Amino acid sequence: MTHALIVIDVQNDFCPGGALAVPEGDLIVPGINKLMADADAVVLTQDWHPKGHSSFASSHNGQGPYEVIDMPYGPQVLWPDHCIQGSGGAAFHADLDVNRANMIVRKGYRAGIDSYSAFFENDRETPTGLEGYLRTRGITRLTMAGLATDFCVNFSAVDAAKLGFEVNVRMDLCRAIDLDGSLAAAQAGMVKAGVVLTV
């Protein structure tokens, strides 16, 4: 019982028709559901922003989506308003088998800081609690899938590898936003951190 599947942000706002749609984001759902049967534990992460979150472009006068600003914790991409707490956009995709989840990790719920990683907020210090959960379950191996490859999947995978977990990212069950080469940079960074990329 040492293997967990970490499903990253398979939510309506990241799927076609959503506020921050990742191309073909919905196409990965059936494959993720199949992976759940082989995992000893299943964890879902859920972007969960309050209205007016500091990562929203609408919260900054004169700034547009996908611009980068400096925040106290470092550079921050500004996003369209998305995954607002309790909204339909924040809900998991209807076809995702949420009943298989042992745990749901909500992230990005503090108004002043974004949280890409399933393990830490974007200050790289504030933990989500996921590491402790996995340790107490005796989990050592992680498979990751979800949205988006170059942001939340990437940050989660790199953090997990740095924490000493054995990490595999199923690239066929992820989709990317790919801002100005962010996908290639994310893939290189994951490999450098020791993450195994498979299809």
Residues labelled catalytic: 9, 107, 152
Helices (H) and strands (E) in the chain, counts: 4, 8
Nearest Cα neighbor of 49 from 57, 41, 39 is 57
Q: How many residues does the chain have?
A: 199
Contacts of 182 (CB under 8 A, 6+ apart): 150, 151, 176
Contact 47, 11 (CB under 8 A): yes
CA-based Rg of the chain, rounded to a whole angstrom?
A: 16
Pairwise CA distance, residues 58 & 42, whole Å: 34
What's the one-letter identity of residue 37? Answer: A
To the nearest 5 percent, what fractions of the chain are helix, strand and coil?
Answer: 25, 25, 45
Q: Is 176 exposed, middle or buried (0-12, 13-18, 19+ CB in 10 A)?
A: buried
DSSP letter, residue 66: T
